[in-house]
Homo-oligomer: A and B are copies of this chain.
Amino acid sequence: MRVFNFAAGPATLPLPVLEQARAEMTDWQGSGMSVMEISHRSAAFVAVAEQAERDLRELLGIPQNYKVLFLQGGATGQFTAIPLNLTAPGATVDYLNTGVWSKKALTEAKRYCTVEVVADEAASHYTTVPAPGSWQVSAEAAYVHYTPNETIGGVEFDYVPDTGTVPLVADMSSTILSRPIDVSRFGVIYAGAQKNIGPSGLVLVIVREDLLGRSRANTPPIWDYAVMAQEGSMLNTPPTFGIYIAGLIFQWLKREGGLAAIGERNHRKASLLYDYIDASGYYKSPVSRNARSWMNVPFNIADPSLEKTFCSEALAAGLANLEGHRSVGGMRASIYNAMPLQGVEALVAFMRDFQQRHG
């Protein structure tokens, strides 16, 4: 029996996608082979990768002057790849620090650039986002990097920063495809797959063409955006099964009505949960109202000694992986695209019941 899985990533996937993968596991499209056993250079697999890119372009409305890359090494690999691709030695780059993942990204960039932390939400213990106008792009910045959604803190920007002509770089790992965005506002968007795209081991990069060809001499070829754009992401063997699953998920998203419909549903799911938390007088969200993530919802009980009981009783009720990140404790419900409204309703019903019994 399937459970409602609130893990932060790797995370729940749409059941119809898993069912299709299961049905084709030993004989994909009548080939007599699994899709895992097909050459990445075969016409059949190239068609899979091209269809995935077309569907993603349609879903996100990606303009023609952007390249779509399917790479390896996760968002953590991109922490290295971003400065190598976009700057020359001696460059200054701007980072907004809003939590654990911003911090990791800027720490890695320091190995290659002078990093200006132009906004830092330490004072609020990373429960806020910097207000527009409260921070400025450095005069010399080669790019501005931010993390639109912090998976651990559950902090999400409610605006896209205006950086003028300076390229805006965004780690969208835990928010991509959760609602429509205007891709033309960004220089580079990257996202680890294991939340809203597919299985782990795949990272998506969307890069504006005029930013290609600036890479440093010591950029690893498999992360060099110009090289990988030229090679259709196949300089070497790509993670074929991951691309196949991502493609199935993009098709599922289209069947669900695209990002406008998905965004509306996600907003409803998040509102249901936050409204209940706020009204409960028992649970608490640590995050400022304007910075609350649609995807990752951390919450606490006044009595932290009950948190372990909460999670184990929830699991027994078919609500899995509600433990907060080990660095912050508490609870966290990740409610990505594949989490149905019924899952959030079941969670709220459980929280209400738990409060009645323990509150």
A220-232 interface mask toward B, CB cutoff 8 Å, 1 = contact, 0 = none?
A: 1110000000000
Residues on B with C-beta less than 8 A from A108 are 221
Interface of A is mostly: loop
Which of B34, B74, B77, B220 has a CB less than 8 Å from the CB of A13? B34
Residues on B with C-beta less than 8 A from A13 are 34, 36-37
Give Cα A80–Cα B80 distance, bound, in whole angstroms.
14
A81-98 interface mask toward B, CB cutoff 8 Å, 1 = contact, 0 = none?
A: 000000000000000000
Query: In whole Å, how far is A59's beta carbon from the nearest beta carbon of chain B?
Result: 21
Which of A4-12, A180-188, A291-299, A350-358 participates in binding chain B?
A: A4-12
Inter-subunit contact A37/B25 (CB<8 Å): no
Q: Does any Cβ of B come within 8 Å of A40's Cβ?
A: yes
Q: Does any Cβ of B come within 8 Å of A38's Cβ?
A: yes
Which of B22, B221, B242 has a CB less than 8 Å from the CB of A80? B221
Query: In whole Å, how far is A249's beta carbon from the nearest beta carbon of chain B?
Result: 11
A201-223 interface (Cβ within 8 A of B) = 201-202, 217-218, 220-222
Which of B5, B19, B39 has a CB less than 8 Å from the CB of A321? B39
Find the residue from A3, A13, A36, A241 having the highest chain B CB count within 10 A: A36
Which of B11, B38, B77 has a CB less than 8 Å from the CB of A222? B77
